[in-house]
Copies of this chain bind each other. A is one copy, B any other.
């Protein structure tokens, strides 16, 4: 099985790269109305499996996808629903967790609260 970087896949990845943040399938479809939603779903799955992008659950609103230039975590405001990024040294988090008998592959921190502007 080969993974072809077709034109549509390139477009989808491009949109995600430009966004600098999370997008839903709908968001992507709005930007690329000529590409079928199903194709977007399948492409995203493929990208996730190949670790080109990340998927995150930040609420009940369905899965979100994100191209990360550098790994980061998310804080979401309960009021305005805006998402903020923040970085934290994975190694230190790992140490805090102290998980024995577990081969850690990915750590995801989701912070909920209210942003005071």
Residues of A within 8 A of B (CB): 57, 60, 63, 73, 75, 77-78, 84, 86, 88-89, 92-93, 96-99, 101-117
Q: Which 9 A-B pairs have the closest CB atoms?
A: A57-B57, A105-B113, A106-B112, A103-B114, A104-B113, A108-B110, A88-B96, A103-B113, A102-B115
* CB <8 Å contact, B86 and A114: no
Beyond A57-B57, A109-B109, 8 extra complex contacts between A and B, CB < 8 Å: A60-B63, A92-B96, A93-B109, A97-B109, A103-B116, A107-B109, A108-B112, A110-B110
Task: Identify whether the interface residues of A are mostly helix, strand, loop, or mixed.
Answer: strand
- Nearest-Cβ distance from residue A74 to partner chain B, whole angstroms: 10
With beta carbons under 8 angstroms apart, the residue of B63, B105, B108, B116 that contacts A102 is: B116
User: Which residues in B have their C-beta under 8 angstroms from that of A57?
Assistant: 57
- Nearest-Cβ distance from residue A50 to partner chain B, whole angstroms: 15
